[in-house]
Amino acid sequence: MSDVFGPCDKCSKEKPLRPVYIKSEQLSYCSLCVEMMATEGLRENETLASLKNEAESLKGKLEEERAKLHDVELHQVAERVEALGQFVMKTRRTLKGHGNKVLCMDWCKDKRRIVSSSQDGKVIVWDSFTTNKEHAVTMPCTWVMACAYAPSGCAIACGGLDNKCSVYPLTFDKNENMAAKKKSVAMHTNYLSACSFTNSDMQILTASGDGTCALWDVESGQLLQSFHGHGADVLCLDLAPSETGNTFVSGGCDKKAMVWDMRSGQCIQSFETHDSDINSVRYYPSGDAFASGSDDATCRLYDLRADREVAIYSKESIIFGASSVDFSLSGRLLFAGYNDYTINVWDVLKGSRVSILFGHENRVSTLRVSPDGTAFCSGSWDHTLRIWA
């Protein structure tokens, strides 16, 4: 388990490695050698096409089995749940200060501070309650698409077109330049689309346009585990709130949402029902399900135990992609930010739209509910962030 990056046992190149069993012996191969070996291992009557067909028919059989268990829709069972009353949410704070499109934001555990990043490379830490800016750093690249607050509240992580994820300790020392203590942690071969600390300040999970996700040790920058399986850019990820904390979900341009085991690097479950790129994934508070937002203008709910999509949140009048989703504390509401500048609020159980929020003057690019569920924050290409409650 300790050797996840090193010389491949076959081609000797320094790459992320996966365990592979050959004649009961465990070796470590890079993903390219694994694939080559897999295709080499064709038996006499097999061709790649015939194996693919076999895989497809197995997939079909599994779908049949899944379908047998699908006895009733979520919204049907939810008919007996009380309908939601009048729903009023307003912008309570507007954070102005970014000079360009806001791309990402994250909350601090203190329930009031946030970090946000933008197209012009600026990353700002705000006390959103007072709207004061507390820290600002300029990244050496543009399109900082990912940022995250450390659990301790003492550092932030960010990255984008530089293909890296860097960690900045937050300091109030006027003599110290924040950029001076910057630590380069993750290195991908394409843009960084998402990052998140795990349960501590010492590990970061990243998603990249190079099609992989990866887990890193912050102190040393060492790659602890890599996750291969997406067929295209990975755009988002979310860590499971489960009590044993071992899995996460990712979504990508291959229209797939994949659930991974952090320890082994294996994909445990995979869902492919969206018609376009998945821009955002977020776990339901119980950890039993997750929601996704996609460019196909729908949001969907996937149940991990039923192993299927159980709800779809869409409306004929909504034709723009959903860029970002998050649940209210109880999971009853799903807030989704769209490329048509609006935020739609969905009743998760009944599948209906509860409300539409106007205010932003360009795409909503990021949306997160605060840690205690008292509000949510949205960031937009109109250069502002808004706190709604």
Partner 1 sequence: MPCLRKVSQHRPRAAGAAPGPVWWVLARQMERMIVSMQDPDMGVKMRNQRLLITVIPHAMTGNDIVEWLIQKYGISEEESLHLGNLIVKHGYIYPLKDPRNLVLRADESPYRFQTPYFWTSTKWPATELDYAIYLAKKNIRKQGDLIEHEKDNYNLLHKRINHTWDFVVMQAREQLRAAKQRRKGDRIVIDCQEQAYWLVNRPPPGAPNVLEQGPERRNCHTTRVQLVSGGYRAHGPVALATSSRCSCRYIKFNEQYVPHDPIMSGCLPSNPWITDDTTYWAMNAPMVPTPTKLRVERWGFNFSELLTDPLGRAQLLDFLKKEFSAENLSFWEACEELRYGEQSRIPEIVDSIYQQFLAPGATRWVNIDSKTMERTLEGIKTPHRYVMDDAQMHIYMLMKKDSYPRFLKSELYRNLLAEAVIPPETKKRVFPFMRKQRHSSPSPALLPPAGDTEDCGGLMLAVT
Taking CB under 8 A as the criterion, which residues in 94-123 touch partner 1? 103, 108-113
Binders of partner 1 in range 337-376 (CB under 8 A): 339-342, 348-349, 356, 358, 362, 371-376
Identify the residue among 50, 132, 138, 184 touching partner 1 (CB under 8 A).
132
| Minimum distance from residue 71 beta carbon to partner 1 (Å) | 5
Which is closer to partner 1, CB of 1 or CB of 180? 1
CB-CB contact of 234 with 255 (8 Å): no
Shortest CB 307 distance to partner 1, Å? 5
Which parts of 294-323 interact with partner 1 (CB under 8 A)?
A: 295-297, 303-308, 310, 315-317, 319-321
Among 65, 83, 96, 179, binds partner 1 (CB under 8 A): 65
Q: Are 257 and 281 in contact (CB under 8 A)?
A: yes
Site string for partner 1, 24-43 (x = CB under 8 A): ----------xx--xx----
- Are β-strands 132-138 and 146-149 bridged in parallel, bridged antiparallel, or unpaired? unpaired
DSSP state of 30: E
- 380 vs 389: CA distance, rounded Å: 17
Give residues with Cβ within 8 angstroms of 285, minimum separation 6. 241, 327, 329, 330, 331
198 binds partner 1 (CB under 8 A): yes
8-27 binders of partner 1 (CB under 8 A): 18
Number of H helices, E strands in the chain: 3, 31
Is 141 a binding residue for partner 1 by CB under 8 A? The answer is: no
Q: Which of 5, 7, 97, 129 binds partner 1 (CB under 8 A)?
A: 129
In the complex with partner 1, the residue whose CB is nearer, 74 or 187, is 74
Of positions 97, 127, 183, 352, contacts partner 1 by CB under 8 A: 127
165 near partner 1 (CB under 8 A): no
Structure tokens at 177: 């330049």
Question: Are 89 and 375 within 8 A, CB to CB?
Answer: no
Helix (H, G, I), strand (E, B) or coil at 283: strand
Per the listing, tokens 């990056």 go with 5
β-strands 364-369, 14-22 pairing: unpaired
